[in-house]
Structure 1
Amino acid sequence: MTAGTETGKPAFRTPAFIALLLFALTLRGPFVVVSTVTGELSTELGMSATAIGLLTTLPVLCFGLAAPGASAVIARLGVERSVLVSLLGTLLGVLIRSVGGIPGALLGTLVMGLAITIGNVVSPVIIGRDFQGRSATVTGSYTAALNVGTMITLSATGPLVTQFGWQIALASWAVLPVIAAAAWVPLSRRRAERVAKAKVESAASAEPPKAAHSARLSTVLRRPTTWMLTIAFAGQAFAYYGLTAWLPTLLATEQGMTRDQAGAASSIFQICALIGAFGTPVIIGRLGGPLTAFLVAGVLWCGLPLGLLFAPDLWAVWSALSGVAQGAGFVAVFTVVVWRSKTLRENRQLSAIVQTGGYTVACLGPVVLGGLHDSTGGWTAPLLASFIAVLALMIMGALASRGLRR
């Protein structure tokens, strides 16, 4: 793996690209869909608001705390088998959550969260291995697929609940990992055949293959860029999950919207992430590299907290700009993860470290913003906290990407 460049592009692997996008569809939608059936979970299962909140918080907590374990699983099983384990775990989690009452809902969510954590960590490894010359572009497409998966499940679950009930509606999303597995199984077999052939050829050759130099985990941990990227992603994740949780409430209270209107209005924040996901590779490739991408993302991100403080009537503009920014920030962080990694092992280690810190802090976003709102009775303090978080993304991301150019 070559860090810091996208030159010398190999032939584009279309089947692997399609399989990666199908895999990405399974990594967010199956757990965020719970937000569409909170009423049914409360009335039919008697779940409290705290328990329902746990169904959406638990996976994110897994993303942070279980990332080192996911890295170890990938090291032991390899990339392809780790993808299949992730898909199988997501499938089982979706089904268990739908049929087991409250214990099943919690257990299924935990299984799903652990499985998706493996997927989160292995995805940058796949991008670095199979799309080395196009990592920024493929990371953008992968990020867009994460958002598309979320939008598909959120928009389609309501009609499914009306037609078939909430249990079948939630279980129906087991189709996503099944479709992704159908794409990955043939790829896994072909790669296994290539690896076996390479081993035979290397055994028959006069010279053994040269082992790529790979830094130890302790070396990766000592690099300043590791912690810069971790802080940058923590700022991104804190702001994203905090504002995703509270933006509908803020719009309802400050703009006089109904719950449905506020939910629809806040969807602008999610939809515009697609623009950031697809636009960031262009910035990285043509306008100065990841450093420029972090600066642009940071400036746009600041639009939501500062805009809502000083020009709240333009909430649609600020939501759109910050939506672009949150997609851009994710792409920028994980493009730099790939570029800063000299080998697949370093990619896996760095990805796990960044996600451990970022997603652990992300769990605090909704809690901290909600606590600040309760203690102050207004939205100024929560918005300022979000502003500080996105400044961390911009500053630390820019520092981590110094010297990286196409």
Structure 2
Amino acid sequence: MTTSAQRRPVVSLGSPLLIAAIVLVALNLRAPLVAVSPVVDAIRADLGVSAAVAGLLTSLPVLAFALASPPASWMIGRLGPERAMLVGLGVLGVGTVLRSSDGVAGALFGTVLIGAGITVGNIVMPVVIGRDFPHRSGALLGIYTATMNVGSMITLSLTVPIAAGVGWRIALCTWLVFAVAAVIVWQLATRRREESPQDLPDDGAGPARAPGRRLVPWLLLLAFGGQSFSYYGLTAWLPEILRDLRGLDAASAGTASSLFQILAVAGALVTPLVARRASLRLAFIPVAAGFLALPGGLLVAPGLWPVWCSLAGAAQGGGFTVIFAAVLAASRDATENRRTAAFVQGGGYLVGALGPWLVGAVHEAGSPPSWQGPLAVVLGALVVLAVAGWSAVTRLRTQ
């Protein structure tokens, strides 16, 4: 058991300022990645690269999420989440500038650095929310998740107009404003906290349990893997799926993709309310059902695509919130929370990185190519999400 002599005193943080810092950090955790999509043609033309190489600018960060999670978790344990988050934002900023520097190598290496910097935030945010807001963790996880999607929508909407005036390089660097603001407010919100740099303070529950030796973290890894695979697979291919299945033009197909992204904000905000008033198990049911509705609905009734895209959009926002609320519930202290979050994210994002590639490969393998096979693959991944997620949330009381 940890004794008082082993812990340093922790000074209470100003809650409103810390919440503002969490929101500003969240704006940085997806926006720099999706900003590439609207200007990818300009990037290809300027750098003289193929579509496959340009695709690495969006797929490499997801792989970085997986591979960088263990070292990021170690660094957070050594430095503490406050200082580690500043390091992560610094790496993200350097990567953003390097991505817009001259040359393909700089663009790719900068993209990897962006992914590594974001990985730190992916792990730090649930840890800080669970540690500093134990009675409001569900609501703040929802706000955090919703803000990531808001950041994505801002960059998707404004990168093209900015690039039209100043070029894609400066347009992508414009979003450094989010990182600078996050650094300033995060530093102000956390500068009074004093904690051991060796690890996060816990509640005296005993040595942290290894996540790989417990069932619930494995179930949550499978659930998050199913969610990540489906999200990234559908995000990459949904416009083309709808163009082929329904004959939609590019604008209409883009509207469908927007529904899938925008409704995530509603799902992220509503799901914690259901979990708080009822239970995490009850909150998980519409998440699983809503996400399953998209590939299942497109297979049996593609004409109702606006309904399926809306349901799945809300579900994918709610699913992220439920899974990491379950990570908090399955952890006895901040150290265990950090290790479990890294374990779940490392494995889950590794599976997620396969989504766009496997969905596209199954499509091209058809003779003639069709979307029934890829949609069945996504449906299978979501069944894994449903089964593993339900098994995890029903076991939380016994862990």
Note whether the superposition's TM-score is higher than 0.5: yes
Q: Which residue of 2 aligns with 1:395?
A: 387
Separation in structure 1 between the aligned mates of residue 66 and residue 236 of structure 2, nearest angstrom:
18
Q: 2:287 aligns with which of 289, 294, 297?
A: 297
SS in 2 for 1:132: coil
Q: CA deviation at 1:181?
A: 0.7
Are 1:366 and 2:356 counterparts?
yes
Q: CA deviation at 1:104?
A: 1.2
Separation in structure 1 between the aligned mates of residue 203 and residue 187 of structure 2, nearest angstrom:
28
Q: CA deviation at 1:249?
A: 0.5
Q: 1:270 aligns with which of 216, 241, 261?
A: 261
Superposed CA RMSD? 1.8
Q: 2:239 aligns with which of 248, 252, 259?
A: 248
Whether the aligned pair in 2 keeps the contact of 1:292 and 1:398 (CA below 8 Å) is no
Are 1:31 and 2:33 counterparts?
yes
Whether the aligned pair in 2 keeps the contact of 1:65 and 1:360 (CA below 8 Å) is yes
Separation in structure 2 between the aligned mates of residue 68 and residue 226 of structure 1, nearest angstrom:
15
Separation in structure 2 between the aligned mates of residue 141 and residue 360 of structure 1, nearest angstrom:
25
Whether the aligned pair in 2 keeps the contact of 1:234 and 1:393 (CA below 8 Å) is yes
Alpha carbons of 1:291 and 1:172: their partners in 2 closer, same or farther (altered >3 Å)?
same
Separation in structure 2 between the aligned mates of residue 315 and residue 25 of structure 1, nearest angstrom:
29
Q: Which residue of 1 aligns with 2:153?
A: 151
Q: Which amino acid aligns with 1:189?
A: R
Are 1:312 and 2:275 counterparts?
no
Alpha carbons of 1:210 and 1:25: their partners in 2 closer, same or farther (altered >3 Å)?
closer
Whether the aligned pair in 2 keeps the contact of 1:290 and 1:398 (CA below 8 Å) is no
Gaps of 5+ in 2: 1-11
Whether the aligned pair in 2 keeps the contact of 1:64 and 1:360 (CA below 8 Å) is yes
Q: Which residue of 1 aligns with 2:168?
A: 166
Q: Which amino acid aligns with 1:366?
A: P
- 1:2-401 to structure 2, matched below 5 A, reads 13-192=15-194, 195=195, 212-216=204-208, 219-287=210-278, 289-376=279-366, 377-401=369-393
Q: Which amino acid aligns with 2:257?
A: S
Separation in structure 2 between the aligned mates of residue 63 and residue 236 of structure 1, nearest angstrom:
15
Query: What's the CA shift string for 1:229-282, capped at 9, x where partnerless?
Result: 000000010110000001011111122122233123211000000111011011
Q: CA deviation at 1:88?
A: 0.8
Consecutive aligned runs of 4 or more in structure 1 exceeding 3 Å deviation: 213-217
Separation in structure 2 between the aligned mates of residue 13 and residue 359 of structure 1, nearest angstrom:
31
Q: Which amino acid aligns with 1:344?
A: A
User: Paired residues, what number?
Assistant: 380
SS in 2 for 1:272: helix
Alpha carbons of 1:66 and 1:210: their partners in 2 closer, same or farther (altered >3 Å)?
closer
Q: Which amino acid aligns with 2:166?
A: F
Separation in structure 1 between the aligned mates of residue 322 and residue 202 of structure 2, nearest angstrom:
32
Q: Which residue of 2 aligns with 1:206?
A: none
Q: CA deviation at 1:403?
A: 5.4
Q: CA deviation at 1:211?
A: 7.2
Q: CA deviation at 1:38?
A: 1.1
Q: Which residue of 1 aligns with 2:9?
A: none
Separation in structure 2 between the aligned mates of residue 69 and residue 402 of structure 1, nearest angstrom:
31
Q: CA deviation at 1:404?
A: 4.8
SS in 2 for 1:191: coil
Whether the aligned pair in 2 keeps the contact of 1:214 and 1:346 (CA below 8 Å) is no
Separation in structure 2 between the aligned mates of residue 245 and residue 378 of structure 1, nearest angstrom:
16
Separation in structure 2 between the aligned mates of residue 403 and residue 211 of structure 1, nearest angstrom:
22
Q: Which amino acid aligns with 2:310?
A: A
Separation in structure 1 between the aligned mates of residue 57 and residue 206 of structure 2, nearest angstrom:
38
Identity %: 45
Separation in structure 2 between the aligned mates of residue 83 and residue 211 of structure 1, nearest angstrom:
22
Structure 1 stretch 252-261 or stretch 25-34: which is displaced more? 252-261
Whether the aligned pair in 2 keeps the contact of 1:294 and 1:332 (CA below 8 Å) is yes
Alpha carbons of 1:107 and 1:316: their partners in 2 closer, same or farther (altered >3 Å)?
same
Separation in structure 2 between the aligned mates of residue 210 and residue 290 of structure 1, nearest angstrom:
24
Whether the aligned pair in 1 keeps the contact of 2:61 and 2:111 (CA below 8 Å) is yes
Q: Which amino acid aligns with 1:281?
A: P
Q: Which amino acid aligns with 1:295?
A: I
Separation in structure 2 between the aligned mates of residue 210 and residue 294 of structure 1, nearest angstrom:
28
Gaps of 5+ in 1: 1-9, 197-208
SS in 1 for 2:174: helix
TM-score, normalisation: structure 1: 0.90
Whether the aligned pair in 1 keeps the contact of 2:35 and 2:172 (CA below 8 Å) is yes
Q: Which amino acid aligns with 2:391?
A: L
Separation in structure 1 between the aligned mates of residue 38 and residue 243 of structure 2, nearest angstrom:
18
TM-score, normalisation: structure 2: 0.92
Whether the aligned pair in 1 keeps the contact of 2:13 and 2:189 (CA below 8 Å) is no
